[in-house]
Amino acid sequence: MREFLTTLSWAVFLVYGVTLWHYISFFKNKTAAKATLSRRWVIISVAVHSLYLAVLTTRLGHIPVSDTFTLLTACAWFFVVVYLIIELRLKEVTMGVFFLPIILLLQVVSNLFINFDKTLSPVLLELFFEVHVAFMISAYAAFTISCIASIMYILLAREMQSKKLGIFFERLPSLQFIDNLSNHAVNIGLLLVMFGFALGYYMGLGVWEGTWAFDPKMIAVAVSLLIYIVHFVTRRSFGWQGHRAAIVSVVGFSWLLFSFIIVTTFFSKIHNFQ
Amino acid sequence: MPIFSCNFKLAGVEGHQEIKRPGLTKSIRRLARKTGCDELALISTGECIEVFAAGEKSAQFTADAAAFVHQITEITIKELQRSQQVLDGPETAQRFLFRAIGMEPAGTHRHDIQTFRKQFELAREAGSIGPVFSKLYQRGLWLAEKIRLESNLQKNAITPDSVVSELAKKIFGPLGAHQALIWTGPGACDKFVARLSESGIGKLLFTGSGSENKEISNEYAGQLVEPENLKAILPTIDLMLLFDESALQSLLAMKFADIMHKRRNAPMLLVTLFEWNGVAGRTDPFAKFYNVYTYNRDELENVIAANLKEHQKLTSLVQQLVEKEVDDFLAWSSSKEKYRFGNIIGKSEAMRGLMDLIARIAQTDISVLIDGESGTGKELIALSIHNHSRRVNNRFSAVNCGALPESLLESELFGFVKGAFTGAITNKKGLLEEANHGTIFLDEIGETSPATQVKLLRFLQEGEIKPVGSNETLKLDVRVLTATNRNLEKMVAEDKFRQDLYYRLNVIQMTIPPLRERKDDILPLINHFVQKYARQMHKTVFNADEAARQLLHDYNWPGNVRELENAIERAVALSTVSHITVADLPPNVTHPTDKPGKNNLARDISLKELEKQHIAALLKQHEWNYDLVTEILGIGRTTLWRKMKEYGLSN
């Protein structure tokens, strides 16, 4: 079972790799045939990943949100599903090439450190906890989308300012479209993260009492919340549209990744699922 | 058959795109008849109307075409005569293909492919399209798809106006909700205006020193802005085109920072289209503003130069593709192939329709019921469907359901497993399984037993079969074509054939008319069979002589093509000279027992139907002379009236 799960986890990594390769080849030579092929590969990877998660769930006896590294792969799965929905709805395939490296990163970190038989603290079996995690993952998915869109915006805007129109001008959708996408994603993410945060806080009150307010992860999330609030406010009040908003969004997401991986690994006492 | 076309360049003619639609198909038909062309298509795109034709070119052709174009466009004939230009074979094919892929031969202007397709379909509706242009059109569609899939046509912004429009689209997306302001000046702005309104810009505003402002603004439903209102309106402008240096100065004087602040830094595209003469230095005075994209004339030129390189590569590629296609087409049209679709020979209206239908449905997996008299070539049609489908590299098996006893048919079709019945000593694959990924053709489907019909229905619906004696089902992917020479509809009514199976099989019905109803095909068939058997028998027979041809043409052919083939085979075998003579033909052809016109007797029709046809034929023959007809029929005048009313016959 262990070996099988390990193999499967790397198989997931591999299919994402192949999918990314297809998206890159689509980006280099934008043809309808390649777009269909890329889309087929995303669907295949989601299927393989779902299988992996299903096996993992039966192994652990609960849904895999109980420690940092199982959570990472669950996140990756959820992100890809959200991405797939967006791709199908907006019929915009160019985003994949920016999106899949992040998924690959999440999956490889998860694969390297995952422990297939970790026991679980009874605190974490509560319904509240699962709802809390669901909110947080959805919020992260939204922020990821916004970050990708922002990177696209920065690349395209820079190319247009430089007045040498190249591959990004040819391949990417319009600035207004990317900007709207990023903006909507941040707004939705903000709403979700606020709910998740409040729920976690309420849950924490019941379990840990007092001391936990200085938990590094909580501080980290609070900081990223602040960054996204800055995004929200400056955009509305100071007209930080487009380029500047994109930079704020990228900063916010970098901080999120940092807090998610580094802080939980090295600092956290409470938020480490023990 | 040669093809040719004439085109009328309509540059500067008002309202050239307006074609009066009602009655167009009728007028196409009339033109085809008048010019004596076999095929005719009218395509009007952009600044050009083209008349494509195939057949014998008459001296009158251009004049007739001009008159026709005049009729549908109301452009004076004089104007048309001046601009006309006649092209022959290769150029015509090339132009047609370029239209089909949405490009001009020079590659500069892109046409709407959709318009082309619509107009071609219109000609098809009018019935003026035959195998030649059908073929060319299909190749064109294929080419367009190939180009779309394999190349990138986006880099076609090679004029300043198209670059500006591409830039605007890249910044704003759809332009419907955006406003453009044009500061007119010495430079001509009409191209930019036309391009922007074509791109669907929300609103066009004009200001500045140009004297022709008003005119342009009227033409494009724009709005003229007075200088004193400019300040109020500027924050709502997303796209600005400056044709004049003084415009730049007045814009800078208006505190650009305030404008951007008012529009909350929403992105703006600012294009300057004049020589910079060191006003505000040669540096970009807008560089310090956030979210403003500025392009000056030189920068636009740089973009165009880069695009032009890409564009030339692409155009030469397309050119090559089209040239190859033209060569193939010309080789095809000058060969004997043009009246042949696979192995089907025939140029009659009915056969052309059939070939067209085959071309359209071959690629799908739709079930086809082929019906026609014995000897009309039902299997040939089925084979041709198979050969034009994507299953062509897989198996085509034909089964005659009438030839096998009921139980044998079932085991033949579905196969059996070892021990299913006495004598079943091994597993045997059925014909359906053998034909997996291919096509199966079931001839005389009306002869199958009810039990086999049920099994067939299940196979058609679920794609599954169960070999005789087996418990396992097999999933198969087989296209089913069926044929019958019996009236299935009647059999369904008499409960001899399952209704649900009938509907399943009869998704498309192809009726092959008997040879006597398509006399046009007899001549090409004679040629074909003479050549075939002459080759086979090592004889030097080339053709049939006039009298023999006339006899063959007039004969009733109850045995259809098969009978014709046998007659020719016999004649070739007997002939002693280089052509078939009357003496070589079989006696039933030379002395037909039943005269033409009485062939209704051979068909399954009711007495009433016979009566109706007889009365109709007589009326027609005697030009509705009632006295004469009543006398011939031996009935009273009132009886004739009543019967005419009953059968809906009227002059």
Q: Does B306 contact A165 at a Cβ distance shorter than 8 Å?
A: yes
Predicted local confidence at residue B598, as pLDDT: 47
User: Which CATH fold would you assign to the domain B605-647?
Assistant: Arc Repressor Mutant, subunit A (1.10.10)
Q: Which of B242, A270, A272, A18 is nearest to B234 (CA)?
A: B242
Architecture category of domain B364-512 in CATH: 3-Layer(aba) Sandwich (3.40)
Rounded to the nearest angstrom, the minimum Cα separation between B63 and chain A is: 45
Task: Examine the domain organization and report whether A244 and A133 are in the same domain.
Answer: yes
Which residue from A minimizes the CA distance to B178? Answer: A176
Torsion of CA B56, B58, B61, B63, to 10 degrees: 180
Residues in Cβ contact with A272 at an 8 Å cutoff, skipping those fewer than 6 apart: A67, A68, A264
What number of C-beta contacts closer than 8 Å exist between A and B? 60
Of A31, A160, A241, nearest to B266 by CB-CB distance is A241
Task: Examine the domain organization and report whether A37 and A67 are in the same domain.
Answer: yes
User: Which CATH fold would you assign to the domain B515-590?
Assistant: Helicase, Ruva Protein; domain 3 (1.10.8)
CB hemisphere CA count around B269 (13 angstroms): 25
In chain A, residues with a C-beta closer than 8 Å to the C-beta of B171 are 160, 174-176
Task: Examine the domain organization and report whether A45 and A78 are in the same domain.
Answer: yes
Residue A83 host element (H or E) = helix A68-90
The answer to whether B288 faces chain A, any CB pair under 8 Å, is no
Domain B160-295 has CATH 3.40.50.720: yes
Which structural domain, as residue segments, surrounds residue A204? 121-274
- The residue out of A93, A117, A141 marking a domain boundary is A117
Residue with tokens 């529009």: B263
Predicted local confidence at residue B187, as pLDDT: 65
Predicted local confidence at residue B83, as pLDDT: 62
The answer to whether B309 faces chain A, any CB pair under 8 Å, is no
Predicted local confidence at residue B1, as pLDDT: 65
Which residue from A minimizes the CA distance to B167? Answer: A160
In chain A, residues with a C-beta closer than 8 Å to the C-beta of B299 are 163
Predicted local confidence at residue B338, as pLDDT: 47
Domains of chain B, by residue range, sit at 3-150, 160-295, 364-512, 515-590, 605-647
Task: Examine the domain organization and report whether A107 and A140 are in the same domain.
Answer: no
Residue with tokens 């066009």: B204
Of B148, B172, B302, nearest to A32 by CB-CB distance is B148
Task: Examine the domain organization and report whether A103 and A199 are in the same domain.
Answer: no
Predicted local confidence at residue B17, as pLDDT: 47
Q: Name residue B400's beta-bridge partners.
A: B443
Of B155, B169, B291, nearest to A241 by CB-CB distance is B291
**Assigned superfamily of B3-150:** Glutamyl-tRNA reductase, N-terminal domain (3.30.460.30)
Structural domains counted in chain A = 2
In chain A, residues with a C-beta closer than 8 Å to the C-beta of B283 are none
Rounded to the nearest angstrom, the minimum Cα separation between B144 and chain A is: 13
For chain A, percent of residues with pLDDT exceeding 90: 22
What's the sign of the alpha-carbon dihedral B332, B116, B197, B188?
Answer: positive
Which residue from A minimizes the CA distance to B290? Answer: A243
- The residue out of A117, A149, A175 marking a domain boundary is A117
Rounded to the nearest angstrom, the minimum Cα separation between A180 and chain B is: 11
In chain A, residues with a C-beta closer than 8 Å to the C-beta of B265 are 239-242
Rounded to the nearest angstrom, the minimum Cα separation between A13 and chain B is: 30
Task: Examine the domain organization and report whether A255 and A150 are in the same domain.
Answer: yes
Label the pairing between strands B474-475 and B464-465. antiparallel
Contact (Cβ atoms closer than 8 angstroms) between residue A259 and residue A217: yes
Distance CA B144, CA B313 (A): 17
In chain B, residues with a C-beta closer than 8 Å to the C-beta of A169 are 170
In chain A, residues with a C-beta closer than 8 Å to the C-beta of B306 are 164-165
In chain B, residues with a C-beta closer than 8 Å to the C-beta of A173 are 173
Rounded to the nearest angstrom, the minimum Cα separation between B299 and chain A is: 7
Q: Does B303 contact A165 at a Cβ distance shorter than 8 Å?
A: yes
Predicted local confidence at residue B20, as pLDDT: 52
Across A14-156, where does the E strand assignment appear?
Answer: none
Chain B, 167-186: which have a CB under 8 Å from a chain A CB? 167, 169-173
Residues in Cβ contact with B286 at an 8 Å cutoff, skipping those fewer than 6 apart: B256, B270, B292, B294
Contact (Cβ atoms closer than 8 angstroms) between residue B540 and residue B575: no
Task: Examine the domain organization and report whether A50 and A139 are in the same domain.
Answer: no
The answer to whether B374 faces chain A, any CB pair under 8 Å, is no
- Looking at this protein, which amino acid is placed at residue B135? K
Q: Does A177 contact B173 at a Cβ distance shorter than 8 Å?
A: yes
Residue B295 host element (H or E) = strand B292-295
Predicted local confidence at residue A44, as pLDDT: 93
Task: Examine the domain organization and report whether A9 and A40 are in the same domain.
Answer: yes
Task: Examine the domain organization and report whether A200 and A112 are in the same domain.
Answer: no
Contact (Cβ atoms closer than 8 angstroms) between residue B554 and residue B566: no
- The pLDDT profile of chain A, 274 residues, written as one tens digit per residue, is 788 888 999 999 999 999 999 999 888 777 777 888 888 999 999 999 999 999 988 888 777 777 778 888 888 998 898 888 888 877 778 888 888 998 998 899 888 888 777 666 665 666 777 788 888 888 988 998 899 999 999 999 998 888 888 888 877 888 988 998 899 889 989 999 888 888 887 777 766 665 556 677 778 888 888 999 998 888 888 878 888 899 999 999 999 888 877 776 676 555 655 4
Predicted local confidence at residue A270, as pLDDT: 56
Predicted local confidence at residue B596, as pLDDT: 47
Q: Does B167 contact A160 at a Cβ distance shorter than 8 Å?
A: yes
Task: Examine the domain organization and report whether A104 and A136 are in the same domain.
Answer: no
Spans of chain B, pLDDT less than 50 = 13-18, 107-108, 154, 280, 337-339, 595-598, 600
Task: Examine the domain organization and report whether A27 and A86 are in the same domain.
Answer: yes
In chain A, residues with a C-beta closer than 8 Å to the C-beta of B295 are 163
Task: Examine the domain organization and report whether A156 and A79 are in the same domain.
Answer: no
Rounded to the nearest angstrom, the minimum Cα separation between B193 and chain A is: 21
- The residue out of A117, A140, A155 marking a domain boundary is A117
Chain B, 289-308: which have a CB under 8 Å from a chain A CB? 290-291, 293, 295, 299, 302-303, 306
